């Protein structure tokens, strides 16, 4: 798989067929070890590794600007952000927050873990999505892309705006 992807990248860059693993003239690294390391595996250890990886990756984009319909990596909308982060780990969430809300297993807010999704809206209509990056007594730290602030991490339980709009959470890793 790595060889195929490396060869395709080589073809795109050099405009001629080559085996990227044997081609040292590429202007990028052909080390594709990340392909194996980004896919969640089986078992508790693999799940924990995936959750830590996903939240760490999500944090790297704090400060990126909001743009409606943007899929990253320089600009995002809320569902573009979550889709981009999880796609990096081989998890396809779909494009819209409404579509993403159909994936995974429903969890109560007090059961959420790192890398779970949390959905927001009014009258049970999904309008926004974010990624849980930390939980604790009285806190639910969520990485999300808001239209006014871009990608941020905030305690949604301490926010008068977000707290009243929390609808439900989803586990999209253990499905």
**Active site (catalytic) residues:** 78, 128, 144
Give dist(CA 53, CA 44) in Å, integer.
14
Cβ distance 10 to 26 under 8 Å? yes
43 vs 1, 104, 123, 174, CA distance in Å? 23, 17, 37, 10
Report the chain's C-alpha Rg in angstroms: 18
């Amino acid at each position: 798989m790595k060889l195929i992807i490396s060869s395709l990248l080589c073809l795109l860059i050099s405009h001629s067929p080559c085996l990227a693993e044997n081609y040292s003239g590429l202007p990028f690294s052909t080390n594709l070890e990340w392909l194996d390391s980004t896919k969640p595996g089986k078992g508790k250890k693999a799940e924990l590794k995936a959750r830590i990886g996903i939240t760490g990756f999500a944090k790297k984009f704090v400060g990126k600007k909001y743009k409606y319909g943007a899929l990253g990596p320089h600009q995002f909308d809320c569902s573009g952000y979550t889709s981009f982060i999880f796609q990096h780990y081989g998890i396809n969430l779909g494009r819209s927050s409404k579509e993403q809300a159909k994936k995974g297993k429903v969890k109560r807010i007090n059961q959420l873990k790192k890398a779970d999704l949390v959905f927001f809206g009014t009258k049970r209509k999904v309008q926004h999505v974010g990624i849980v990056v930390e939980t604790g007594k009285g806190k639910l730290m969520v990485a999300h892309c808001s239209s006014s602030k871009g990608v941020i991490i905030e305690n949604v339980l301490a926010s008068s705006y977000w707290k009243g709009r929390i609808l439900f959470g989803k586990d999209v890793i253990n499905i």
